[in-house]
A and B are shown apart, each in its own frame.
Chain A
Amino acid sequence: MLLVVTYSRAARGTLRNVCRTHEGSVVRRFGRAALLAETEFAAFQALRLREKHGEDVQIERTRPFNEFETVDAEVREAARAYENRERSSVPYSSFAAGTDFPDPERLRERDLSR
């Protein structure tokens, strides 16, 4: 999908109008940002916005997240276990220490698989 983020009042206003006019291309709207469909028409609208407002418009491409193909099981299990921990005040680094759960440093260094 296309993530369009605006950085000025004017650009936000135009984005709002575009979203209102082309509802079919909008996956989700946030205050000053929107997720647009993965179509050339949506890309056309996004580029039009940037043409008008320059660097006050940021366009990124996102993709659906599937945790079963993007991360190892240990990451999913660590997240589940940590959210179900008994003492809520324990930071994750302490929680993971001395267990099989990945330590946060290692997680930070590893990029997602494609």
Chain B
Amino acid sequence: MSDAVTVRVGDERRRGHAVDCSDLSPAADRVVAAVRDETADRSDSAPLSVTCPTAGPVHDHVGLVSPSMTLRTRTALAAAARSRGVGTPVDDGLAAARAALADVQVPATPDLERARRRLAGTESAVDECRERVATLRGRIQARREDGRETTGLEGELTEATAELSEHETERAAAREALSMARREARASRDARERRRRLEDRLANLKRTARDHLVEAVRDRYAAAVTAAPGEARPADDGSPADADPFAVDDVTAALAVARVADVRAPVVLACDRFADPAAAAAWLDAPVIRVSPSA
């Protein structure tokens, strides 16, 4: 069979359309990772390897079916519809939005924080210096009134005045630098804003597409839920499974989605809904790797 799967755990090698590894107890998530990763090490030195057809997007949703899974059922079902080649009226729009998004160039933001910090430092330096100059002036004034000598203080005042003017120059430069950085930042923010709008548009289109895709396979999905083996427990809200096919436990939903989908890469089953892996593969119409639920 062309889509045969080879699983190797240590020295043990198993091949087929439905492979049972439950006795070898490899961890389910490691098996799934091995299925999805095309670049994984498949040499004999790797402890675990899977050789199989490439996993498509739907495999991300239902490639591992285990009691502890959580499934975004509608998103998974949309991926299943895609795997069957279902298109939507917004596909052109989706492609255009993705292309436009890829084209958005966001110019680097200038270092605004540094510019702010620099200015904040100069503001306080000017204030301190100004205070010192005022104090010195006051003291000189007082000494003069008392007819006392002021030479030493005047020297200090000259120094402080020069320092003040230095700080004022630095502050002017820091203000200019910050306002220039702010002007530059505008271009970056315009681009970010453009990107955010495109992302919003893309998200809206994706929602529309998903609704369309789900609608396209809803009946098949509902039938699969009804036909699913094991007890299809209603989800937490307690509604009966036949009323709303989306209100079922995640394992049932995942199996139904996988049955609707065209799955090429093996589905890793860590649940005991089927008599044996071959029955699971037949029901899902997909290759299957069975692992033990506890692994």
Which A residues contact B (CB, under 8 angstroms)?
7-9, 12, 32, 55-56, 58
Which residues of chain A have C-beta atoms less than 8 A from B112's C-beta? Answer: 55
Contact of B175 with A by CB under 8 A:
no
Q: Which residues of B contact A (CB under 8 A)?
A: 109, 112, 185, 188-189, 192-193, 195-196, 199-200, 203
- Give Cα distance in the complex from A8 to B200, angstroms: 9
List A contacts of B192 (CB < 8 A). Answer: 7-8, 55-56
Of residues B188, B189, B196, which shows the largest number of chain A Cβ atoms within 10 Å of its Cβ?
Answer: B196
CB distance B189 to A58 under 8 Å?
A: yes
- Can you list 24 contacts pairing A with B, beta carbon distance less than 8 Å? A7-B189, A7-B192, A7-B193, A7-B195, A7-B196, A8-B192, A8-B195, A8-B196, A8-B199, A9-B196, A9-B199, A9-B200, A9-B203, A12-B196, A32-B196, A55-B109, A55-B112, A55-B185, A55-B188, A55-B189, A55-B192, A56-B192, A58-B185, A58-B189
User: Measured between C-beta atoms, what is the minimum distance from A38 to chain B in Å?
Assistant: 18
Interfacial chain A residues near B109, Cβ < 8 Å: 55
- In the complex, what residues of B have CB within 8 A of residue A7's CB? 189, 192-193, 195-196
Shortest Cβ distance from residue B67 to the other chain A in the assembled complex, whole angstroms: 31
| Min CB gap B103→A, angstroms | 17
Task: Name the distance in Å between B204's Cβ and chain A's nearest Cβ.
Answer: 12
**Nearest Cβ distance between residue A37 and chain B, in whole angstroms?**
21
Residues of B with C-beta under 8 A to A9: 196, 199-200, 203
Which B residues touch A55, using CB under 8 A? Answer: 109, 112, 185, 188-189, 192
Chain B residues within an 8 Å CB radius of A32: 196
Return the chain B residue nearest A8 by Cβ.
B196
Instruction: Tell me how far the C-beta of B201 lies from the nearest C-beta in chain A, rounded to whole angstroms.
Output: 11
**CA of A32 to CA of B193 in the docked complex: distance in angstroms?**
10
B109: nearest chain-A partner, CB-CB: A55
**Which 5 residue pairs across A and B have the least CB separation, nearest first?**
A7-B192, A55-B109, A9-B199, A8-B196, A7-B193
Min CB distance, B207 to chain A, in Å? 13
B contact residues around A8 at 8 Å (CB): 192, 195-196, 199
How far apart are B93's CB and chain A's nearest CB, in angstroms?
18
Residues of A within 8 A of B193 (CB): 7
Least distance between B163 CB and chain A CB atoms (Å) = 26
CB-CB nearest in chain B for A5: B189
- Most chain B CB within a 10 A radius of its CB, from A7, A8, A12: A7
Nearest residue, chain B, Cβ from A50: B113
Q: Known A-B contacts: A7-B193, A8-B196. Give 20 more (CB < 8 A).
A: A7-B189, A7-B192, A7-B195, A7-B196, A8-B192, A8-B195, A8-B199, A9-B196, A9-B199, A9-B200, A9-B203, A12-B196, A55-B109, A55-B112, A55-B185, A55-B188, A55-B189, A55-B192, A58-B185, A58-B189
User: In this complex, which of B112, B185, B192, B203 has the most chain A Cβ atoms within 10 angstroms of its Cβ?
Assistant: B192
B199 / chain A contacts, CB cutoff of 8 Å:
8-9
CA distance A87 to B112 in the complex (A): 46
Residue of B nearest to A11 (CB): B196
In the assembled complex, which residues on chain A have CB atoms less than 8 Å from the CB atom of B188?
Answer: 55
Q: Closest CB-CB distance, B274 to chain A, in whole Å?
A: 41
